[in-house]
A and B are shown apart, each in its own frame.
Chain A
Amino acid sequence: MRVLDILLGGLFHAAVLFLVAAGLQLVFGVQKIVNLACGSFYAFGAYVGIAAISAALSFGLPPTLFPAVLVLAGLVAALVGVAVELLLRQAYKRDDSFQMLLTFAVMLMFQDIIRFIWGATPLSLTGVYMVYGTVNIGSLSVPAYNLIVIAIGGGLALALAYFLRKTNYGRILRAAAENPGMGQALGVNVRRLYQVTFVLGTALGTIGGALVVPASAASVDMGLELVVEAFAVVVIGGLGSMPGAALGAVTVGLTRSLVVSLYPEFDLLSIYVIVVFILVVRPRGIFGEATA
């Protein structure tokens, strides 16, 4: 039972972490921008999720629809990515450090925007988390909502893999990521492609934030903690790799869950021991591709 408890706790964390890290990977993979603002999208999604559920409750929507409402809220919140991408266009041909500074500035701006709209006091949802009850496995009792989030996270991972590998647009996206000049020569609207990619990356973060909020709370700085872990995921999995994001998220989630259970003082340390190990023995990450 203890093992199952650790496993489910780790997978719940990994599901949300995967979404944020996948957004980071997608944007880097295609646009070659390390987007530090991905944590802010996660926080923004959480606040929009609260607003959406509050609206759903006032309209009397049944609880069974809440997960769909949250995913939809995350998609709507992702439209903010359109505006952010317009800003980032100024940095596409600039130095990497300039791009990072710009996304860092966006992250700080988002903190104040969120505080301006929703205030500094953390917000939490009531009447949602436990509405689905608990699943009892022997002596173990797990909130059903946690399992729903794990399922949605897994489902989105599969959907993303399908989109990137099996659809025409996904193939174009991967091809343009490899060689944008060639893509443009073949008639691909690279500017539009970048916009779609960035909004999709944003959506992964905002959906993650919206999904976690019934089990948690929304606070102005909630993105900071996650963005640090998201970068650990990226280092472990390999920058720009989707399978890497999935493996990295599961590694971080399960490691945290296990270490917190055995020796909580080493919570962060354990993750960064893995990060350092990967950086030393395989600097490009497990699924990352070697660069010249």
Chain B
Amino acid sequence: MNRRKFLKSASSFGLVAASGVYAPALAQAGPLKVGLLAARSGALGNIGEGGLRAVQWSVDRLNKQGGIAGRRVELVVEEETSPKDTSDRFKKLVLQNGVECVQGVISTGVTLSLGVLAEESRTIFIAWDGTTQSGVDETMPNPKYTFRSTDNEVEAIIAGVLAINRYQGQFRTIAGFNNDYSYGRNAWSVFQALLKKYKIDNQSVSEQWVKVGSVDLTPAVNAVRASDPDLLYLSVLFGEAPVLMKQASAAGLFQRAKLVYSMGGFNQSQLKKEFTPEGMILGLNTLDFDYPNASPLQKEFVAYYMDRFKEPPTSAAERAYFAMELYARGVERAAKAVGKWPTKEDITANMEDLEVESLGGKARMKKNHIPEQLFFIGTTTHDNKYDFVTVKDVQAISSEQFQKPPNTDFWKWIESAKFEI
């Protein structure tokens, strides 16, 4: 689809919306339909599947308690694929299925398209990731109907600051294995910006850009090994993570280098002890294992998930759960305030500044529609009952001081911001 066709389609969609098709049902007797866009195959398949399972768990609990503001929740699930096809499914969910809110989607490219559609059609859209920023720049300065349930750049800053705090003076040469993907590029740039900010003398000796879905990283591993870095920075998100860890471990890459892995939450169960060393700084976004100090809600969810699916959840589960919980509490808060079934505008207004209990602890949706939430980071350990690494010395860090103020330049903000861990 070219730009002109897309704008034409989006405009028609907006006209239909403005004509009242999207007006809330007057009699709210029927089920409350919520659309979900989740990848169930391809590179994002296990992430989408994990999010879907968490939402189903959340909805089952909500329905047992009488639904949302008295209406039983009914999920309508569609696939997340390309921006064009997912946009079509978004329209189908709204126009044909009559959903009152759409949640889901991981890919930044897809969420950027859907954000425009959501605003045009006045549909509440809570993305599990992405949406209001292209990388680190806002594409929608003041979104009204579009929310996102996490801000992953926060993890990159937290991991970078922690690495500098811990290893300052112990490294000079650095190398990176990052995805050839917006998050990977940003994560590496963030680390370098932090090194510059804190005036850490360093030299980047190898930068490897791992393609999503790669199954042979031997040449890249060999190149990094030849450069013999003091510190290795990783932010590989998808199925490439175990491939990288296995091949790097076999090549002896982890023997000398300090290791920092900013975002392992999508893949923690694949970071097997056999090839993932202890002592690595590992950001998890949220806790995906049976951690003693976790909240009762998190413990209940992890126990359910591991029992039912025989694997630990991914961090996408937390963000998906948060999206549904935010919507549910937002609707109830709005209904209470207006004394009747709330309009979409009532709901979005009541979702702002709303704090909910999510799987990873308390989280608040800020007025700019990006949440303030906890990020977990620790040091890898083999001392657990699983075949994969978990983290010890866990720090639960609020995202607040690691998020740039709205509509400011991210890179300039890093230069002047104060980060304390």
Tally the A-B contacts, defined by beta carbons under 8 Å.
135
A129: chain B residues within 8 A (beta carbon): 246, 250, 275
Most B CB atoms within 10 A — which of A2, A120, A127, A141? A120
Decide if B242 is an interface residue (CB 8 Å cutoff): yes
Q: In the assembled complex, how far is the CB of residue B148 from the closest CB belonging to chain A, in whole angstroms?
A: 23
**Chain B nearest CB: distance from A111 CB in Å?**
5
Contact of A10 among B219, B221, B239 (CB under 8 A): B219
* Alpha-carbon separation in the docked complex, A130 to B249 (Å): 9
B225 neighbours in A (Cβ, 8 Å): 5
In the bound complex, CA of A216 to CA of B270 (Å): 12
Distance, CA A222 to CA B272, complexed state (A): 20
A9–B218 CB distance below 8 A:
yes
Docked-complex contact B274 and A212, CB < 8 angstroms = no
The answer to whether the Cβ of A16 comes within 8 Å of any Cβ in the partner chain is yes
* Contact with B270, one of A8, A122, A264 (Cβ below 8 angstroms): A122
What separation, in Å, do the CA atoms of A222 and B182 have in the docked complex?
Answer: 21
Q: Which chain B positions have C-beta within 8 A of A13?
A: 216, 218-219
A219-B387 in contact given A121-B270, A260-B208 (Cβ < 8 Å) = no
Q: Tell me how far the C-beta of B387 lies from the nearest C-beta in chain A, rounded to whole angstroms.
A: 7
- Given A2-B226, A215-B247, A216-B247; A264-B209 close (CB under 8 Å): yes
CB distance from A203 to the nearest CB of B (A): 19
Of B48, B206, B215, which is within 8 A of A225 by CB?
B215
A95 interface residue per 8 A CB criterion: no
A225 with B214: in contact, given A6-B222, A215-B247, A217-B246 (CB under 8 Å)? yes
Interface 0/1 of B278-295, CB less than 8 Å to A: 000000000000000000
- Residue contact A261 to B226, C-beta cutoff 8 Å: yes
- Chain A residues with Cβ under 8 A from B218's Cβ? 9, 12-13, 146, 215, 257
Q: Please report the total number of B residues contacting A with Cβ < 8 Å.
A: 43
* Residues of chain A with a CB closer than 8 A to B252's CB: 134, 141
**A143 within 8 Å of B by Cβ?**
yes
A216 to chain B, nearest CB (A): 5
* Among listed B36-44, B116-124, B317-325, interface-contacting one: B36-44
Contacts of A257 in B (CB 8 A): 218-219, 222
Query: Chain A: how many interface residues by the 8 Å CB criterion?
Result: 47
Report the minimal beta-carbon distance from A226 to chain B, rounded to whole angstroms.
7
Contact yes or no, A217 B242, CB < 8 A: yes
With A124-B270, A217-B270 as known contacts, state yes or no: A222 contacts B222, CB within 8 Å.
no
| Distance in Å: Cβ of A163 to nearest Cβ of chain B | 27
What are the residues of chain A within 8 A of B48 when measuring CB–CB? 120
Contact of B215 among A5, A216, A260 (CB under 8 A): A216
Q: Assess whether B243 is in contact with A6, with CB atoms less than 8 Å apart.
A: no
Say yes or no: A115 contacts B226, CB within 8 Å: no
On B, residues with C-beta under 8 Å from A are 40-43, 45-46, 48-49, 206-209, 211, 213-216, 218-223, 225-226, 238-239, 242-243, 246-247, 249-252, 267, 269-270, 272, 274-275, 311, 387
The 9 residue pairs across chains A and B that have the minimum distance between CB atoms: A120-B45, A219-B239, A122-B239, A257-B219, A121-B46, A260-B219, A261-B223, A120-B46, A143-B250
Which A residues lie at the B interface, using CB under 8 A? 2, 5-6, 8-10, 12-13, 16, 46, 111-112, 115, 119-122, 124, 126-127, 129-130, 134, 141-143, 145-146, 212, 215-217, 219-222, 224-226, 256-257, 260-261, 264-265, 267-268
